[in-house]
Amino acid sequence: MARSDLTRRQFIAAASAGSLAAVTSGTIPAYGNLTNKASKLAILGGDPVRKNKAWPEWPYWDDEVLDSLMKTAKSRIWCRIQSPSGTVPTFEKEYAKLTGARFCVATGSGTQALHTCVEAMGIGPGDEVITSPYTDPGTIASILSARALPVLADLDPASYQLDPDEVERRITENTRALMPVHMMGQPADMRRIMAIARTRNLKVIEDACQAHLAEFDGKQLGTIGDVGCFSFQSSKVLACGEGGAIIGDDEALMDRCYTVHNHGTSRRGVTETIGPKYRMNEFEAAVLLGQLSGVIERFRRRNENAAYLTTRLNDIPGLTPQKLYEGTQSGSFYLYTMSYHKEQFNNVPRATFFKALAAEGVSLSPYIARGLHREPWIDHILDSKVYKTMYSAKRLREYREQCACPKCDQVCEEMAMLWASGPLLATRQDMADIADAIEKVWANRDQLTQV
């Protein structure tokens, strides 16, 4: 399999070349396109900033990906247990190397990776895991599938990540683990989350499903907690349709992960515990292996483009790009996100701003409509036999009362999100179009009341 033989050092060099550094050193000029400052919005009949130009398509593929798939088809090794040199075992080795983890177990999805970890840690009925309400449903599905209780803690509304103070407030004697989610592909507040976990003797399962290759305090996301989980679902920055992976350094725990994900059957061929069958198949791994050679280059391009956008957008009072925590060295920029401050835009609804921007040729969207604390699964579990048996009536009553997450509600209302897996691979001129379009709508916000 042809892939670049990137070493850990080369990776760090690539990551730090990402222009988060350039932003802080001010080497990227703020462009301000003066012609935009007073012109008619496209939605009112003016000239759009961008027309008839496409964005890079996603998911990514090239001839190397197709060759890799074809090779697997012809080999007739279609299942991971057929050969130790098949694509799944090979991908596991390569992904561990790429992330700096000792071990990797590939799975059929990010949700499966998370659930496997919950089971492998022996977390089940009666136990509690604290996580975010602002995430993919797969995050809580992994806890619910083990019939443990997902306890939702509110957010830092500037970073869209778990607020460590809120996490701390929700710890009970039954809390077993924390599941921080690195939203948008950028690091959660891992210094504080790890400090809480250490003091309270809790496990940490990093939901890094959006956060491939991102670095925090000299480590890649997924290698800071006890285990880290990734998704390779179509939209993610490393994609194979559906797929996932667990990484970790604890040999015994990672061995249990293998056993759980393999219907309870160990690498030694002994069926010894409860487990679903969550194996990645060889075609999925073939697609992943076929694109690893360019993955660092694409990661670096997204970081450079994101940093450029941030320098341009930072000057617009009506929008605030996602806050990054101290210790952040790079992000995966699965999404490029900011908060829309309606009051700065003459109280024009976010939907009107999006419509005006779309007319200029740039699409932003609201992303998650409402937090998981507002979805009906809560009624379902509070009414279910297993939860009523395994948790006291008092605990379930408190649980219901703790469900409010007003900061998450605020984030859902303010979010302005750009899908970034493909678009952030575009050229600097494409990024300038995005910033120009946003600046134009901002500069002409008085016209939005006529829309």
Ligand X SMILES: *Cc1c(COP(=O)(O)O)cnc(C)c1O
Query: Would you tell me which residues interact with ligand X (CB under 6 A)?
Result: 109-111, 135-136, 138-139, 181, 207, 209-210, 231, 233, 244
φ, ψ for residue 163, nearest 5 deg: -90, 115
37 neighbors 441 (Cβ within 8 angstroms): no
In whole angstroms, how close is the CB of 392 to ligand X at the nearest point?
30
Bridge-based pairing of strands 219-220 and 215-216 is antiparallel
Q: Which of 278/345 has CB closer to ligand X? A: 278
Distances (CA, A) of 435 to 32, 345, 429, 431: 9, 17, 10, 6
Q: Which of 139/311 has CB closer to ligand X? A: 139
Query: Nearest Cα to 364, choosing from 319, 427, 312?
Result: 319
- Which residue, judged by CB position, is nearest to ligand X in the bound state? 110
Buried b vs exposed e over 47-70: b needs ≥16 C-beta within 10 Å? ebbbeeeebeebbbeeebbeebbe
Q: Which of 19/281 has CB closer to ligand X? A: 281
Rounded to whole angstroms, the Cα distance separating 234 from 241 reads 4
Q: Which of 209/306 has CB closer to ligand X? A: 209
Paired with 233 in beta bridges are 241
Q: Which of 111/447 has CB closer to ligand X? A: 111
Alpha helices in 233-275 (DSSP H): 251-261
Paired with 209 in beta bridges are none
Rounded to whole angstroms, the Cα distance separating 389 from 283 reads 42
Rounded to whole angstroms, the Cα distance separating 421 from 419 reads 6
Neighbours of 75 (CB within 10 A): 15
Q: Which of 181/197 has CB closer to ligand X? A: 181
Q: Which residues contact 393 (CB under 8 A, 6 or more apart)?
A: none
Q: Which of 240/435 has CB closer to ligand X? A: 240
Paired with 131 in beta bridges are 152, 179
In whole angstroms, how close is the CB of 241 to ligand X at the nearest point?
10
Q: Which of 197/221 has CB closer to ligand X? A: 221
**Assigned token pair, 79:** 């299942």
In whole angstroms, how close is the CB of 8 to ligand X at the nearest point?
25
DSSP class of residue 224? S
In whole angstroms, how close is the CB of 446 to ligand X at the nearest point?
38
In whole angstroms, how close is the CB of 305 to ligand X at the nearest point?
20
Q: How far apart are the first and last CA of the chain?
A: 55
In whole angstroms, how close is the CB of 187 to ligand X at the nearest point?
13
In whole angstroms, how close is the CB of 269 to ligand X at the nearest point?
28
In whole angstroms, how close is the CB of 259 to ligand X at the nearest point?
21
288 neighbors 240 (Cβ within 8 angstroms): yes
Q: Which of 167/443 has CB closer to ligand X? A: 167
In whole angstroms, how close is the CB of 223 to ligand X at the nearest point?
17
In whole angstroms, how close is the CB of 410 to ligand X at the nearest point?
19
Q: Which of 139/444 has CB closer to ligand X? A: 139
In whole angstroms, how close is the CB of 284 to ligand X at the nearest point?
11
Helix (H, G, I), strand (E, B) or coil at 296: helix
Rounded to whole angstroms, the Cα distance separating 450 from 115 reads 50
Rounded to whole angstroms, the Cα distance separating 59 from 281 reads 19
* Longest alpha-carbon distance in the chain: 72
Residue 83 C-alpha from the chain's centroid:
32
Bridge-based pairing of strands 161-162 and 219-220 is unpaired
Q: Which of 205/435 has CB closer to ligand X? A: 205
